[in-house]
Homo-oligomer: A and B are copies of this chain.
C-alpha cells in the first residue's frame, strides 16, 4: 500500500489534492505547509510550498503519479512513492473502497 509524497506551490496544492480524491486515485491526501530549499539551474533557492501525502492502493499508484504530472504546474515535480509496511485491517478496507481499482 503506497503513500505518494508530492510537493507543490501553495496555490496549486489544494486543487491537486481535490482532483486525486475526486477521481478516486487517492483515498485521502494530507497537506502540510513547508519551506523548501533546493538547487535549480546551479542556484540555491528557498520558497514556501506544501507537501501532499496521498494514500492510495497498489493498482492505482502508477495512474496517480501520471495524473500528478499532468495537474502539476512544474516541469519536474517531486513525486516519490513510499511503501507502507503494515496497517490495520479496517484502514486497508476503507482505502480499497475509496480508490477505484479499475473494476467497475
* Residue positions of A touching B, CB distance < 8 A: 1-3, 5, 7, 14, 17-18, 20-22, 24, 27-40, 44, 46, 49, 51, 53, 55, 61, 65, 69, 75-88, 90-91, 94, 98
Contacts and interface: CB of A to CB of B under 8 A. Distances in A.
Given A84-B80, A88-B79, A90-B75, A29 B22 contact: no
Contact of A78 (B14, B28, B78): B28
B38 A31 contact: no
B39 A31 contact: no
A38 B87 contact: no
Nearest to A5: B3
Contacts of A78: 28, 55, 91
